[in-house]
Amino acid sequence: MKSHYRVVVIGGGVVGASVLYHLAKFGWKDVCLIERSVLTAGSSWHAAGGFHALNADPNVAGLQAYTIDLLSEIEAESGQSVGMHMTGGMTLAGTQDRWDWLQSAYRVFQSIGIEDVRLITPEEAGELCPVMSTHGILGGMWADREGYIDTTGTVHAYAGAAKKNGAEVIEHNRVLELNQMADGWEVVTEKGTIRAEHVVNAAGLWAKQVGRMAGIELPVSPLAHHYLLTETIPEVAALDREMPLVVDLEGFTYMRQDQKGMLLGIYEVDHKHWMMDGAPWNYGIELLQEEPDRIEKELTLGFERYPVLQNAGVKNWVNGAFTFSPDGNPLVGPVPGKRGYWCACAVMAGFLQGGGVGKSLAEWMIHGEPEADVYGMDVARYGEFAANKQYIRETTGQFYTRRFVMTYPNEQLPAGRPLKMAPAHDAMTAAGARWGAGWDLELPLYFAPEGFEEKPTLRRSNAFPIVAEECRAVRRDVGLLDISGFSRFEVTGPDAEGWLDRMMASRLPGPGRARLAPMLGHDGRLKGDLTIFNWGDGTWWVMGSYYLRAWHMRWFRDHIEEGVNIRDLGEEMVGFSLAGPKARRVLEKTTDGDITALPFMGCGHFDVGLIRGRIGRLSVAGELGYEIHCRMGDHIALRRTLLEAGAGEGIREYGFNALLSLRLEKSFGIWSAEFTQGYTPGMTGMDRWIDWRKSDFVGRQAALAERDGNGPAQVLVTLEIDAADADASGFEPVWKEGRRVGFVTSGGYGHIVEKSLAMALVDPAHAAVGTELSVHVVGVERPARVIPASPYDPDGKAMRQ
């Protein structure tokens, strides 16, 4: 062991070993892995070793596919067998909704270019797995590249390949303490103290404690998980080929062959947390006591699915713990505010995701950005609120329990809610508001009559007419929307303007004006679709998506300069917006200020009733609109003032479901759909906001290269789809005569234009208005065509009136 390394990776499970491997492979050789006990001594040794294709996040699914391909590479590089059994695998659907969902999921695979999957009938499923009963199965999805590996062999293969690339592995050495220094970290271990520029928390079951060593509370908890291994089963032994992996979603089980018997794993609905503060330091290579009573219901289903189990002897029970984040995806990346501290933990399926996690993290550390869009597993997708123990207990428990339970796109799950509520929340609830959650905050989705209950569905829901009426009210009269769910950052200081000018690719607005501003990463890809406000008094605001608050703040802090202060106003400021042709008339009644003089994209200070407000004249709905910001404590009064003033003007409160429909009618993109860190300005049309005359801004070189190169590989278009009872939602493939030419970024119904709409990234050759295409909507192919952007009010007259 040396006294200094560039990187110390803490933890010798599959994830730490993969991070080490990728760092060394990509060129950082001065790296070591420190393991408390022996490699695999956490969750990794007793995993079932299975790898599946499915993930709800297509970007994570892409990284899973990378991991599967990598396994044979590390085997070859290290000379250590990973015990590969590429048996193929299937996921079964046992209800009509699940079958519909699986068919949609299959299409998403096509969108992301994973071609070795296909849909299968129950009969085919039975042929592929003869010991399985197909009773109740409506269909399945088959993937060639599913199977299982030997877990210990795989960890040793990662570590062996890392060592061949120059990395060091140090076992039997616990990290005891981490101290942040000016130039990195002091890593105090049982075998001595090391200095490192970077540390990686890959401590698995102990990630919580290794976080606390640096003053970080990670939203992660271990939960217990069962599988059983049988003795030899004659019917299995008699098969002429190995059985495939089977995931029976309605049965809560997964199954694979184990020697001449079976391994049956169970996602217990009655979940159980284990050591929420992290495993004990003396926890060895051991298991938890099995609890067959707790899993009786799932076991019964499993035995019905595989009748041969009735007579099989159980050779071994495995009840072990592994870790979960609130949404079940890993926590990866640089921890905000802790320079040189990186996370690679909460990896629920380390053998499936570990390769992708290691690759992305190594790229991030070496190049400053990962190649893939890894927002879905970025540690900064959570804020401080998620460190609350009750929040972690509820959300991780909900994720585990629902691991195989279908979640509908219009379903609002209860865990960790309600947490933060804007002050007018209760008054809005009394007015019928139905809520969803964004980050920690409750957001109004729509306003329904008493007794209304929305039914979970993959198609248009029974809330459709309510949302339609809200859209009509906005376009006809005026709508009132709680906009507490936008982020607001205040930028001040003598160098605020110069700094913002370098951070944003657009021109900055003049005093009393607002402007849309793309923010780019150094690689020229998008980092934000922001709005900049110049309040004219030396104060600037940056507004964006509320749920990106911590993510954006990390980026700002990483680039902050002398003479600039940036503050997240998310706990101080809230607001309402008025949108619709009568918005001005309503606002005029509340203020002495000359609101008529406020131009489109203007901003200023106005008294609104008793409230000292800040107003920006813009609207995501594409109408004459005003966003009125106030102090948190003024929220109730602001709502009351605006509703009273609007009483004679047909004012109606509306929610974010209507806003999503209204913005689609204007072809206004939103983050996580049309705009992500995987896309470029050229692809998304964001380039029209870039000020090419500026000599310096983050990402300029790359943006110029895109502009002056061959043009983007895909461009954003608006589609009209001949849909019947459902609309596109995102990642559905777009086809031209049987060839995949793009994918949907988001979709929905335009209640005013009366069209099923979608935005999509398509090959430029198929982007011309009028091009006939087709799109899969909930698994059914529908004709679609490219239409001009902004099907509602294409000239933008409504916004500018």
Ligand X SMILES: Cc1cc2nc3c(=O)[nH]c(=O)nc-3n(C[C@H](O)[C@H](O)[C@H](O)COP(=O)(O)OP(=O)(O)OC[C@H]3O[C@@H](n4cnc5c(N)ncnc54)[C@H](O)[C@@H]3O)c2cc1C
Binding site for ligand X (CB under 6 A): 10-16, 34-37, 41-44, 46-50, 174-175, 202-206, 210, 225, 227, 318, 320-322, 345, 347-352
Quick one: which H or E segment has residue 741?
A: strand 739-750
Q: How many residues does the chain have?
A: 801
Q: How far is the CB of 60 from ligand X (least distance, A)?
A: 13
Q: How far is the CB of 190 from ligand X (least distance, A)?
A: 8
Cα separations (Å) of 332 from 191, 278, 612, 693?
A: 28, 18, 41, 37
Q: How far is the CB of 253 from ligand X (least distance, A)?
A: 12
CA nearest to 587, candidates 578, 597, 598: 578
| Closer to ligand X by Cβ: residue 120 or 202 | 202
Q: Is the distance from CB of 95 to CB of 101 less than 8 angstroms?
A: no
| Closer to ligand X by Cβ: residue 227 or 555 | 227
Q: How far is the CB of 170 from ligand X (least distance, A)?
A: 9
| Closer to ligand X by Cβ: residue 274 or 600 | 274
Q: How far is the CB of 26 from ligand X (least distance, A)?
A: 19
Q: How far is the CB of 263 from ligand X (least distance, A)?
A: 9
| Closer to ligand X by Cβ: residue 228 or 719 | 228
Residues contacting residue 710 through CB under 8 Å, at least 6 positions apart: none
| Closer to ligand X by Cβ: residue 276 or 702 | 276
Q: Strand 755-762 to strand 168-170: parallel, antiparallel, or no bridges (unpaired)?
A: unpaired
Instruction: Give the end-to-end CA distance of the chain in Å, rounded to a whole number.
Output: 71
Q: Is the distance from CB of 59 to CB of 375 less than 8 angstroms?
A: yes
Amino acid at 699: G
| Closer to ligand X by Cβ: residue 10 or 578 | 10
Q: Is the distance from CB of 457 to CB of 100 less than 8 angstroms?
A: no
| Closer to ligand X by Cβ: residue 242 or 644 | 242
| Closer to ligand X by Cβ: residue 36 or 585 | 36
| Closer to ligand X by Cβ: residue 392 or 458 | 392
Residue 394 and residue 403: Cα distance in Å, rounded?
Answer: 14
Find where tokens 């072990």 sit: 320
Q: How far is the CB of 20 from ligand X (least distance, A)?
A: 11
Residues contacting residue 182 through CB under 8 Å, at least 6 positions apart: none
Percent of the chain that is helix, strand, coil (3-state, to 5): 30, 30, 40
Tokens of 714: 């895909």
| Closer to ligand X by Cβ: residue 200 or 664 | 200
Q: How far is the CB of 748 from ligand X (least distance, A)?
A: 35
Residue 637 and residue 634: Cα distance in Å, rounded?
Answer: 5
Q: How far is the CB of 10 from ligand X (least distance, A)?
A: 5
| Closer to ligand X by Cβ: residue 41 or 481 | 41
The vertex-694 CA angle with 690 and 698, nearest 5°, equals 70
Residue 757 and residue 729: Cα distance in Å, rounded?
Answer: 10
> Helix 350-367 crosses helix 151-164 at what angle (to 10 degrees)?
20
**3-state class (DSSP) for residue 781:** strand
DSSP letters for 168-207: EEE-S--EEEEEEETTEEEEEETTEEEEEEEEEE--GGGH
| Closer to ligand X by Cβ: residue 223 or 758 | 223
Q: Is the distance from CB of 154 to CB of 13 less than 8 angstroms?
A: no
Q: How far is the CB of 397 from ligand X (least distance, A)?
A: 16
Q: Is the distance from CB of 548 to CB of 528 less than 8 angstroms?
A: yes
Strand partners, 761: 716, 743
DSSP letters for 279-306: --TT--S--PPP-GGGGHHHHHHHHHHS
Residue 799 and residue 801: Cα distance in Å, rounded?
Answer: 6
Residue 746 and residue 736: Cα distance in Å, rounded?
Answer: 19
Q: How far is the CB of 326 from ligand X (least distance, A)?
A: 16
| Closer to ligand X by Cβ: residue 361 or 660 | 361
Q: How far is the CB of 196 from ligand X (least distance, A)?
A: 13
| Closer to ligand X by Cβ: residue 326 or 779 | 326
Q: Is the distance from CB of 470 to CB of 481 less than 8 angstroms?
A: no
Q: How far is the CB of 187 from ligand X (least distance, A)?
A: 9
Quick count: other Cβ atoms within 10 Å of Cβ 72? 14
Residue 308 and residue 266: Cα distance in Å, rounded?
Answer: 17
Q: How far is the CB of 393 from ligand X (least distance, A)?
A: 18
- Torsions phi, psi for 643 (to 5 deg): -65, -40
Quick count: other Cβ atoms within 10 Å of Cβ 571? 9
| Closer to ligand X by Cβ: residue 12 or 669 | 12
Residue 624 and residue 796: Cα distance in Å, rounded?
Answer: 10
Q: How far is the CB of 16 from ligand X (least distance, A)?
A: 5
| Closer to ligand X by Cβ: residue 329 or 410 | 329
Amino acid at 10: I
What is the maximal distance between C-alpha atoms in the chain? Answer: 87
Residues contacting residue 677 through CB under 8 Å, at least 6 positions apart: 373, 375, 521, 525, 526, 527
Q: Is the distance from CB of 322 to CB of 288 less than 8 angstroms?
A: no
| Closer to ligand X by Cβ: residue 351 or 364 | 351
Q: How far is the CB of 177 from ligand X (least distance, A)?
A: 9
| Closer to ligand X by Cβ: residue 11 or 139 | 11
DSSP 85: B
| For residue 418, cis peptide bond before it (omega within 30 degrees of 0) | yes
Q: How far is the CB of 252 from ligand X (least distance, A)?
A: 14
Q: How far is the CB of 49 from ligand X (least distance, A)?
A: 5
